[in-house]
Structures are given as structure tokens and as C-alpha cells.
Structure 1
């Protein structure tokens, strides 16, 4: 009975987050949608019909499948994701947007293979690490080096697009899965060092990444340049105060905040529903995380534990 109650709690939190997200997309995107598409609720409709409805149907379908099934298809699913990551660079199949090759265009439909890769890597690593066993995972040649090889292949294809953010999520998630599987601490520290070195190299070779760090550390240094977005976001959150200006009453979404339905949506949330509303949102995500930790901890086998950990992150 406790297990069912927990699942209902998780489902309730997910549905509350979906509802809250849709409301805020409708509010935050009204001006941006009208300006770009001539439809005030373009982003709301797009998210609802192409995101929420397919997502809920997928959730209903996949919850009927025993999660052990994914162990059987882990290898073909992973290699299918790799093939799709390669296809984004093929003219006529891959779509280049804002200078980045991240999308596959299949007739009227388009999707990002890197999003598929997130799930494929989690399932593949969970199955692979379980098959290794604790002793082999701790070995350099049977654990660490193959793991780095997997990460190197995925990283090369995603960074080539380029999509640093997505690979950062995959790398951190994979690191957590490797840690939970029983990897040696000295191997983990070595990977952390390599990751720090790689991050430093990425920052040095691409000035815009260094500028983002500077803007984060000192938003007031260049308020009309690299610090513009963060300053406008802080202004929006500060304007919201404790209770907010009210739904639909954000001022910063009137072409002051870049990407109000994307990167800057939390600023609009803070402005419209205030500190209280933003705190409730964070609390819902915290509840989601705690439930995910409980599910991972209570999983009956290593595959379930590792997959739950990856999906949680």
C-alpha cells in the first residue's frame, strides 16, 4: 500500500509541475509569441499538443512495461542514438539552426537526437555496469577505460554540434551512475580532474563561454553587454517581491528579457508569482527529487537502482 501511495504522490507532483509550467509558458510567451508568430499562445499550443499530450501518452504506455525490458534493448537503443547523432551532420536530414546542427528533420517532424541520447546513455550504462559486477567495475581496463570510451564517443558527437549544455548533463549523470555502481574513489577523482581540465579548455577556446562566467561572477560589469540577460532577470525577480505582480502582469517579458519562454522563464515566474510562488515551484522539484531517491534506494536490483538514479538526475 505504501508503494502505491508513493507512486500516486510522484504522479501528483508531476501533474502539478506540468500544469504550472503550461500556465507560465502561456503567460511568459504571450508577447514573444505574438511578435514572432502572430499568435499570442503559439508556445502554449505547441508545448501542449507536441509536448504534454505525447508525454502523458508515453508515460501511460511505458509504465505498463516492466523496466527489465530496457536491459534487453539497451545495446540497440544506444547504437540507434549514436546513428541519429551522426545523421544530424548529413545535409538534407540534419537541420542547422542558429549555427548549430542539433536537429533531425523527418518530414513535418523534427527532434533533437541529443535528447534521445540522454535516455539511451542512462539505460546502456545501467545495463553495462550491472553486467560488469562490482569487481570488474573497479578495474582500470574493465571499468574505467571502457566508461571513458563511451563518454568520449558520445561527447565527441554532441560537442561537434555543438551542444555543451546537453553533454554536461549527460556527463554529470553518467558520473553519478558510475559512482553508485561502486567505482573506485581514485578513478572518480581522476575523472573529476579530467572534467575540470576539459571545462577549462572549452572556456579558453570559446570566448562566449568565458563571457558567461564573467557575467555570472559580476553582472554589473557590463550591464548592456554580456551581463544584460542576468541583470534583466534579477530586475524581474526583484520586482516580484514576496507575492508577485500577478499572473500575466510581468513587465520584463515585454521584450526586455531574452527568451522569456526559455532561458529566462524562471525570472518571469519570480516576477509574476513572487518569492512565495517560486519557493513552491522549487519545493515541488525537491519533492520530485526525494521521491526519485526513494525509488532508486528501494529498487530490487542494481539495474533498477542505476537507471532510477540516472532518470532522477
Structure 2
């Protein structure tokens, strides 16, 4: 089913060439492709530590930081409206204020009624913890697929070549199923299997059953069985994406716990630190 509601949450006012501007522009192109409604929400994040006592000034500090977050949200809303003012799309823009403790609930409430969430990469220079919170809230509590847009030249809403990272996990299968509308029309879908288990269910034909399923959807598929020749799985995937000239990566999100990935690392977190192309994730 094609996405008909695309959510683009913003944490910064739009500036030409900025990562949020790239993400919103990509969301516009996707909305145009699928004749979808584009919902934009400008979020002012209040970083007040409400559990602390501010030497008698608690109420004053909280009001001041809330007002600052409100002004930021209104600036983001105004910049988004200006950006979309000449668009022929169906769109809406609103603003909201949330403290860090409530940011996940704010995002998940909107993600639940969206078919796709589009946002910039959550890690990197100038990225606070609120970006990571938004991605995780959309995926876990909102149960929505997320498309992470990298800080690279403009990406096409109609990928020509796509890489599907396949490890037989439920998360990978969920991402593949929900990415089908984006994959339709691609010249090639490459199923990348990294070090398949010798005694797994697909030991004789890694990726073969998935290729058959996708072919029945009218997709042209090929399978690449890759050795883990680099320390991180994400590095192997990134190199493969570059080698075949892919312009979309589909992968399951957080096959391990978020805590484990935060401490020890994992393919999801590592990929989101430096996504080579737009990354479609679901779980």
C-alpha cells in the first residue's frame, strides 16, 4: 500500500542546504510521487532538567526555557510554511513544544497515524540526543517506518538501484515488506547477505526465497553473498552500496536492544552515524 501520510518532524528552522531542509525536500518529493499528504511539525525541545532544584528559581527557569522552546517551534513552523507556500502538494504545518522526557510521546503520537516518517540522520555535528529520541520513538512506539536522509546531494524519490540488507530477522522482513512501494519501478533490487550461517535455514540458497517473493511483486532481483571483511557490518554494507551505485538502502532496525547498541554499537546505530544513501528502516 502506497504511503498516503508522510510525517516530517523538524527540530531546527530551515536554512538552505541544511540537513533538515534536505529531509523536508525529500519528503516533498515522496509526497508528490505517491500523491500523499505531507504533515510537518516544528518541535521546540525544552531541555530543562525538571528533577533538579534551581535554588528557588525553579518556576522562573522552567517558564523561561519553555518560552524559548515555544519561540523556536514558531520559527521552525514559519520557515516550513515559507518553504511549502508555493507547493502544489497537500500539506499542513504545526508547532509543538516538548521536554526531553516527553519528546518520545510527542513524536510517537504523530508517527502512529503516519505511513512514513522522514528525517535527517540523528548523529553527527550539531545533533543532540533529541534526534536519536525522535528516530527511536517513531520506530518503537509509533511503529512507523523511518526514512533517514543523509547529508549528500539530492536523492531521487524513485530509486534506480536499491540494496536490501537481509539476515533472516523479523526486523529485516518488516522493513522489506513496508518498503515495497518505494522499490516498485527500481531497475534492480540487490539482496545483500553477509556471512550467512553455515547451518541456517537458507544455507543452500541464501536470499533465494526472498528473491522469489520480491520477483513475484514485479521486482528485478539479484543476490550478493558478502564476506565480513571489515570490522563492522555497516562498513561492509556501505561499501557494497557504493560498489553497485545504489541510491536506497533497506534494513531492519535495532535487531539488538537500544541499550546494547548504545554501549557496544550495532549495524543500525553505526549506519545512522554516516548513512551513504537514504536508509529505509522498520521493525
TM-score, structure 1 normalization: 0.24
TM-score, structure 2 normalization: 0.25
Larger Rg: 1
